[in-house]
Chains A and B, each alone.
Chain A
């Protein structure tokens, strides 16, 4: 069930890799958190859905949007190399677990960019993968522990960019 509903979340993780502008990447990550909240609702995990909407989608989106630069920094690796790495990661990780593939793609997004906002957006996508794993296991306290990790990094990114 989670593997099937994790499909759209995985696709959005892959889409993050081809975003060149930080504000577009941020929009994709916020959309991903929204999709995840819907998945949580469908699993009747209301606390998880509320936290994901408030912190990962709305909170992180608003905070990071203000710090998003207007220029487009050159990525560390080219698009072709990044897509190749993404395909290799997905092929290796998806059969093991969809959330693991989302976590790894998030780390790749973060590592491949020079822009601080995109680096934090990559971690936000990674956290969405961890939250998907937590929703799959069905323990609400796990979601409560998972969600606050990244807002701290978002604040750090804002602070560092100020």
Chain B
């Protein structure tokens, strides 16, 4: 079953690479994703025997499920096969128990993500190379602030070079939880918020919104307390669901507008409940972090209102697959079942392995 889980995104990429499959309905992506999630859920109920080099505890399974949800949205648009391969490579990366196996999987993943940019957008290739190098350097050194700083800076650089990996990189950053991660997260929120206010570019605002929200997740993870990590995991889940909805929504219909508003943190959609939970956790643990976080989030929201297209119902909205992750985000954000919350708390406790 575990090889099946690890192979699933690659098999999906192979099938989707066949002629004619690129025009198939987004519901095909959703069905493949639900199949992958069913495998992960079977591991939750029937925990597998321990395997060398892989961690299959609650946190590992949560991370695997999140990567599969992130893969849902990747099947649309240009370069969808490489996006599948890139996110598929993230599965062994998040499940790896050894740092070097993690970096090797991440290297393959980044290589797939960057393939479309070799001829157009070359600047991303050396940028990703520098990011991978810093991450590798930080991973081989014994734990220290320098090692964590290099690894986190490398992940951030990699996220900017290959935005498709952005939603799942915070899961890897969790292993370096500490003040460095809090500082990096704050810099991301303030930088993206300020940047979007000063240079509102409608064409590329979604990756910057995602980077800003990933910064809020990083702040929560950096506090390294189960309560804050739980809030960060909820926010990350909502972020991945919103981004999947954004990718699955065809054109600028109502579903796409709601998904974008959700990514920006505008209430009551998308990441908003997760942001509120994170702010509550931050207020209880480090109140001095609240003003800069709120300033960055307000900037992200303000910039989004200026660039978001006005919501309007389109014909594509009627049977859009995007409604499914949007509904899931609403359910998880506002009325998470007790059993799921208890399991997520367990995953937050398992983070340190």
Chain A positions 101 through 122: 1 when the CB is less than 8 Å from some CB of chain B, otherwise 0: 0010011001100001001101
Known: A145-B103, A156-B114, A160-B119. A107 touches B125 (CB 8 A): no
Identify which of A100, A123, A152, A160 contacts B137 (C-beta below 8 A). A100
In the complex, the answer to whether A107 meets B111 with C-beta atoms within 8 Å is no
For the complex formed, measure the closest distance between the CB of A21 and the CB atoms of chain B, giving whole angstroms.
Answer: 19
In the complex, the answer to whether A129 meets B100 with C-beta atoms within 8 Å is no
Which residue of chain A is the closest to B107 with respect to CB atoms?
A149
Chain B contacts of A157 at CB under 8 A? 125
Q: Does B178 make an interface contact (CB < 8 A)?
A: no
Chain A contacts of B130 at CB under 8 A? 107, 110-111, 123, 126
Interface of B is mostly: helix
Q: Does A50 make an interface contact (CB < 8 A)?
A: no
For the complex formed, measure the closest distance between the CB of A116 and the CB atoms of chain B, giving whole angstroms.
Answer: 6
In the complex, the answer to whether B100 meets A133 with C-beta atoms within 8 Å is no
In the complex, the answer to whether A133 meets B119 with C-beta atoms within 8 Å is no
In the complex, the answer to whether B129 meets A110 with C-beta atoms within 8 Å is yes
Chain B contacts of A55 at CB under 8 A? none
In the complex, the answer to whether B100 meets A119 with C-beta atoms within 8 Å is no
Counting chain A residues whose Cβ lies within 8 A of the other chain, the interface size class is: 35 or more
Q: Does B132 make an interface contact (CB < 8 A)?
A: yes
Chain B contacts of A97 at CB under 8 A? 146
Complexed CA–CA distance, A145 and B100 (Å): 7
In the complex, the answer to whether A149 meets B136 with C-beta atoms within 8 Å is yes
Complexed CA–CA distance, A120 and B126 (Å): 7
Within 8 A of B (CB), among A121-144: 122-123, 126-127, 129-130, 133-134, 137, 139, 141-142
Which residue of chain B is the closest to A102 with respect to CB atoms?
B137
Q: Does A150 make an interface contact (CB < 8 A)?
A: yes
Q: Does A153 make an interface contact (CB < 8 A)?
A: yes
For the complex formed, measure the closest distance between the CB of A95 and the CB atoms of chain B, giving whole angstroms.
Answer: 11
In the complex, the answer to whether A129 meets B137 with C-beta atoms within 8 Å is yes
Chain B contacts of A110 at CB under 8 A? 126, 129-130
Complexed CA–CA distance, A111 and B107 (Å): 20
Chain B contacts of A130 at CB under 8 A? 133, 136-137, 140
Complexed CA–CA distance, A111 and B134 (Å): 14
Q: Does B32 make an interface contact (CB < 8 A)?
A: no
Chain B contacts of A107 at CB under 8 A? 130, 133-134
Known: A120-B126, A149-B133, A160-B125. A141 touches B107 (CB 8 A): no
Q: Does B339 make an interface contact (CB < 8 A)?
A: no
Besides A96-B146, A110-B130, A160-B118, 9 new A-B residue pairs in contact (Cβ under 8 A), listed by A number:
A97-B146, A100-B150, A123-B133, A126-B133, A129-B137, A137-B141, A141-B100, A149-B107, A149-B132
- Nearest first, the 3 closest Cβ-Cβ pairs linking A and B are A145-B100, A119-B126, A123-B129
